[in-house]
Structure 1
């Protein structure tokens, strides 16, 4: 799994000009699911997303507080395009998990976020829809997060193993 985490003062997602979800201060997270991802990847991503320290403490010291510490919201957006490979100038998305399997794992991710934190603080877009994501980036702070079994790392891991 791969996530692009953006600290925001506000974010919203619309589909055909209809508001689907919105949050105030918190995190907007673009979530990509690789064809080889499992519940283990989901567990890792949930744990890291809820504990990554992207917020300042009351004295203004940076990188001290996580989203849970501050009781903030998270807007998650499924985004298969995070698993692209360029073939010349054209993107190829064959590494992204497809259809119902991807939706099932994404829904598991959302459920586990809610269970591990607060279901009312977790919002999302509309899986598979053509969405418009509006963010007010705070900082700007943008962090990438990959699960240990991320599809981009699998080839490198396999190459290292075959050399030994």
Structure 2
């Protein structure tokens, strides 16, 4: 499972010209699900994202997590993040999870996020929709986090 996180001052998701979710200071995560992923892997990545230290402390060092900063999380399913881009000039999607599995694991990631942060601090994209994602990347700060294999 892959999560592209971006520290944001604000971010939103729009579907059919309607804003369906928005956050202020926090993290936007684009979530890519692969065939080998499981609920345990989704929970492990979620805990990693929420505890990843990307917010500045009093000295300006990235030493505070989303929990420490009291920020929000916007989770957006991103099928193309699971693409195999190692060769050629066209992405391959053979490792991407099928839609049913991907949606189940997206919802599992959301459930763990809401449990750790509180439901009011978690926004979501719409699985399978044509979404428009707007954000103001703070820094810019962007990291690709990956979790694979058996959970710890």
User: Would the TM-score normalized by the shorter structure come out above 0.5?
Assistant: yes
Q: Deviations over 1:127-149 (max 9, x none)?
A: 01111100100000001100032
- Report the equivalent of 1:31: 31
What secondary structure sits across from 2:27 in the alignment?
Answer: strand
- Report the equivalent of 1:70: 69
Q: Deviations over 1:90-141 (max 9, x none)?
A: 2221211111221111101100111122111010111011111001000000
What secondary structure sits across from 1:115 in the alignment?
Answer: helix
- Report the equivalent of 2:22: 22
What secondary structure sits across from 1:53 in the alignment?
Answer: coil
Alignment of 1:103-142 (within 5 A): 103-142=103-142
Q: Deviations over 1:69-97 (max 9, x none)?
A: 11110001000101112463222212111
Q: Distance in 2 between matches of 1:55 and 1:109?
A: 21
Residue segments in structure 1 that go unaligned for 5+ positions in a row: 151-164
Superposition RMSD on alpha carbons, in Å?
1.4
What secondary structure sits across from 2:68 in the alignment?
Answer: coil
Kindly state the Cα deviation for residue 63 of structure 1 after the two structures are TM-superposed: 1.1
